[in-house]
Amino acid sequence: MIRAVSLTKKFDSRVAVDHLDFEIPRGQVVGFLGPNGAGKTTTMRLLTAYLPPDEGRAELMGQDVSADPLSVRQRLGYLPENNPLYDDFELTDSLHYVAKLRGLNDPKERWERVKLVLRACGLKREIGKKVGELSKGYRQRLGLAQAIVHDPDVLILDEPTSGLDPNQVQEVRSLIRELRQEKTVLLSTHILPEVTATCDRVIIINSGRIVADGTPEQISGDVQNKNRLYIELKGPREAIETSFQGLEGATSVRPESQTGSGCSGFIIESEAGRDLREEVFNLASLKRWPIMAMRQEKLSLEEVFRKLTQSQ
Amino acid sequence: MRQSLFQSNAVKTLALRGLRGYFETPSAYVALFVFYLLAGYLFAFPLFLLGQASIKSLMDFAPLLLSFLIPALTMGLISEEIKSGTFETLATLPLQDWDIVLGKYLGFAGLALTAVGGLLFFPLALSALVQPQSGVDWGESLGILAGLAWLSLMYGAAGLFASSLTKNQIVAFVSSFMISFFFFVCGKFAGLLPGPLGGLAEFVGVDSHLSNMAKGVLDTRDLLYFLSVIAAFLYLTVERLQARRF
């Protein structure tokens, strides 16, 4: 659905996007992460044919965007950075204007679509207001409504929740979650919980290059290089530690703080991809040490992000 | 499939929006008010003081007046879109840059032609005032109005180009005025320059083309002059926008 093939963009001597390669299949919601200036916006501008690439190509729905930008844009919804809007328009006029420019020339059909997106984006209460009078949250919804008014297959959203308060962020996120059922979405953000909340997959870029690509879990696993399991049991502390050390695949066992009522916590590390939870459970039940808690310890996305984008 | 130069529906939508936009802010009202006030003065002064029943005096001053007023109407056309970021929205809709440029230009042209059309009031008023036997020279009057209309359209194209150069409306205004003023003043120096250079200056300046029209003479060479300057500026605007360097 969305494909970048060796996509490159230079501004004078600075390389903003450096041979990016990725492919996003239909129906996936992908978070595009990276520090400021990493090349997120430029990549999005290349994908929407706003800017021409210097090398490589961008494809949407199997078509090279530079070869036939108009027909590609018919099926694309794009929310540019900072959500630019015409403040002098009345809310519905603004939607009609964009819908007309998108080729929805039949007034009846256009009205249907406008009504539909007004409802979908929760904008009905604001009808009659000028765009300039809308609160930031509603402006963002209007930006989204303009991007989806023609029912596109692909949505590219540049920081759709930046500058919103937590409630508004939540609202816009749930709107995006509703869209995911039928559309392919690429959204850029530097708000990390957003990715875990809305995205199936994350692409992290830094200095115009991809530094990680996968599900949030995969990425933190890759960066971590090993599996960490936290377990809390009731039983004799030393005996437990020795038993676990004998477990096949365990590279280290570290006692954690002792909690009340005879419980002890341990961190068991194994190689990446080696999941010890089943063995740990079997051993504990054999020894009749009741398991009070067990979880896989992951690096948070924040830690992963910092590790990946600061190491270069 | 070969694409046409522009899409008429999109151009119409953009033009109507532009025209409407003028009347949602005071700018168009102020510009029109100043325009008619000065035009009224230029018309009434010779009429009542010199007893001259003609709108000729408009032709002497209106070109200079328009070189101020037209930039005021065109300065925000593109610079405002660049500044607010809405240009990116427009440019990623299924529109070509020619659609955007033509739409913006025709929106302006609608206002400019209405403004010049409003000057018809003066010859109409004259024909009501003067003796029927002396009459109003309609050939001359319509020629003058046609000349002013073409001049406004030409200054407007230059103004649109200037507006695509910068995010700053004031800078757009000043550059637009400078371009318009160049065309205004060029013909005036023609007599001072030697031989072929003088001829060139005369051809580039607006004076020689306007004076033909003011006599009621419609020469295709004059039309070609206005049309080619307009086309050149529209083309430059498209080229400028395509570079996407703001």
CB contact under 8 A, B85 and A49: no
Complex-level ipTM: 0.87
Please determine, for residue B18, whether its predicted confidence score (pLDDT) is greater than 90: yes
Res B133: pLDDT: 63
A66-124 tens-digit pLDDT: 998 898 999 999 999 989 999 999 999 999 999 999 989 899 999 999 999 998 888 99
Mean pLDDT of chain A: 88
CA distances from A209 to A156, A190, A201, B2 (A): 19, 16, 17, 36
**pLDDT value, residue B1:** 43
pLDDT in tens, A116-147: 999 888 899 999 999 999 998 899 999 999 99
**Are B136 and B151 spatial neighbours (Cβ–Cβ below 8 Å)?**
no
The helix/strand/coil state of A227 is strand
- Which residues, including other chains, have CB under 8 Å from residue A266's CB and lie 6 or more apart? A230, A231, A232, A233, A240, A241, A244, A253, A254, A255, A256
Average pLDDT over residues A161-184: 81
User: What count of other Cβ atoms lies within 10 Å of the Cβ of residue B1?
Assistant: 6
C-alpha angle B33/B147/B137, rounded to 5°?
95
Mean pLDDT of A208-235: 83
- Which candidate from A45, A74, A97 shows the least CB-CB separation from B13? A97
CA distances from A38 to A5, A110, A165, A252, A312 (A): 18, 38, 25, 37, 12
pLDDT greater than 70 at residue A224: no
Question: What is the residue whose two structure tokens read 């406004």?
Answer: B152
**pLDDT confidence bin for B239, thresholds 50/70/90:** very high
Residue A225 has pLDDT above 90, yes or no: no
Residues of chain A in contact with residue B93, where contact means CB-CB under 8 angstroms, are 73, 98, 101-102
Interface contact flag, B92 A101, Cβ < 8 Å: no
Q: Give the per-residue pLDDT at B91.
A: 93
When CB atoms are compared, the residue of A81, A86, A102 closest to B94 is A102
pLDDT in tens, A30-82: 999 988 888 999 999 999 999 999 999 999 999 999 998 898 999 999 999 98
DSSP B7: -
CB B204 within 8 A of CB B186: yes
Least confident of A47-51, A222-226, A233-237, A295-299: A222-226
Can you tell me which residue has the tokens 């089943």?
Answer: A278
Token pair recorded at residue B123: 């010859």
Q: What is the per-residue pLDDT across B145-179, written as a single tens digit (0 to 9) for each?
A: 999 999 999 999 999 999 999 999 999 999 999 99
Instruction: Return residues 212-241 of B near A (CB < 8 Å).
Output: none
| CA–CA dist B212, B221 (Å, integer) | 10
The fraction of chain A above a pLDDT of 90, given in percent, is: 48
State the alpha helices, DSSP H only, in A149-300. Answer: 166-179, 192-198, 216-224, 237-245, 277-287
Query: If DSSP codes are grouped into helix, strand and coil, which group holds residue B95?
Result: coil
Q: What is the CA radius of gyration of chain B?
A: 19
Asked if B91's CB is within 8 angstroms of A100's CB, the reply is no
Instruction: Check: CB of residue A22 under 8 Å from CB of residue A4.
Output: yes
pLDDT of B2 reads 47
At A53 the pLDDT is 94
Domains of chain A, each with CATH number or no CATH? 2-215 (3.40.50.300), 222-304 (3.30.70.1340)
Q: Please give the full DSSP string across A189-215, using - where no structure is assigned.
A: ES-HHHHHHH-SEEEEEETTEEEEEE-
Mean pLDDT check: name the lowest of A154-168, B27-41, B83-97, B132-146. B132-146
Name the residue among B126, B149, B245, B162 with its Cα closest to residue B206: B149
Provide mean pLDDT across the span B52-63.
78
For A155-164, B44-53, B54-63, B78-87, which range has the lowest pLDDT when averaged over its residues?
B44-53
The rounded distance, in Å, linking the Cα atoms of B95 and A71 is 10
Nearest to A50 among B9, B17, B244 (CB): B244
Which chain B residue is nearest to residue A41, measuring alpha carbons?
B88
Chain B environment of A76 (Cβ under 8 Å): 92
Which chain A positions have a beta carbon within 8 Å of B15's beta carbon? none
d(CA B225, CA B241): 25
Q: How far is CA A191 from CA A3, A35, A36, A157, in A?
A: 24, 10, 12, 14
State pTM to two decimals: 0.84
- What value does the mean pLDDT take over residues A245-254? 86
- Dump pLDDT digits (tens) for B172-207: 999 999 999 999 998 888 888 888 888 888 889 998
Between chain A and chain B, the number of residue pairs with CB atoms below 8 A apart is: 60
| Of the candidate ranges A6-20, A185-199, B4-18, B158-172, the one whose mean pLDDT is the lowest | A185-199
Residues of A in contact with B10 (CB under 8 A): 100-101, 103
A146–B89 C-beta distance less than 8 A: yes
B27 touches chain A (CB under 8 A): no
Q: At A226, phi and psi to the nearest 5?
A: -150, 160
Where does the pLDDT of residue A148 fall: very low under 50, low under 70, confident under 90, or very high at 90 and above? Answer: very high
- Provide the 10 A C-beta neighbour count for residue B78: 28
CA geometry: angle at B97 spanning A157 and B244, to 5°? 65
Between A300 and B11, residue with greater pLDDT = B11
| Complete DSSP assignment for B103-120 | HHHHHHHHHHHHHHHHTT
Query: How close, in Å, is residue B17 to chain A by CA atoms?
Result: 8
**Mean local confidence (pLDDT), A174-185:** 83
| pLDDT for residue B134 | 65
Determine the residue type at A41.
T
Average pLDDT over residues B1-30: 84
pLDDT in tens, B75-128: 999 999 999 999 999 999 999 999 999 999 999 999 999 999 998 888 888 888
Please indicate whether, in this complex, the C-beta atoms of A70 and B3 are within 8 angstroms of each other: yes
The percentage of chain A sitting over the pLDDT mark of 70, rounded to a whole number, equals 96
Per the CB < 8 Å rule, is A78 touching B86? no
The angle subtended at Cα B60 by Cα B57 and Cα B63, nearest 5°, is: 125
CB of B16 less than 8 A from some CB of A: no
**A190 vs A215 pLDDT, higher one:** A215
pLDDT of residue B132: 66
Contact B176, B159 (CB under 8 A): yes
CB A258 within 8 A of CB A292: no
Residues 6+ apart with CB under 8 A from A174: none
* C-alpha distance from residue A58 to each of A54, A69, B14 (Å): 11, 11, 28
Cα dihedral sign for A182, A185, A190, A193?
positive
Determine the average pLDDT of the residues in A222-228: 73
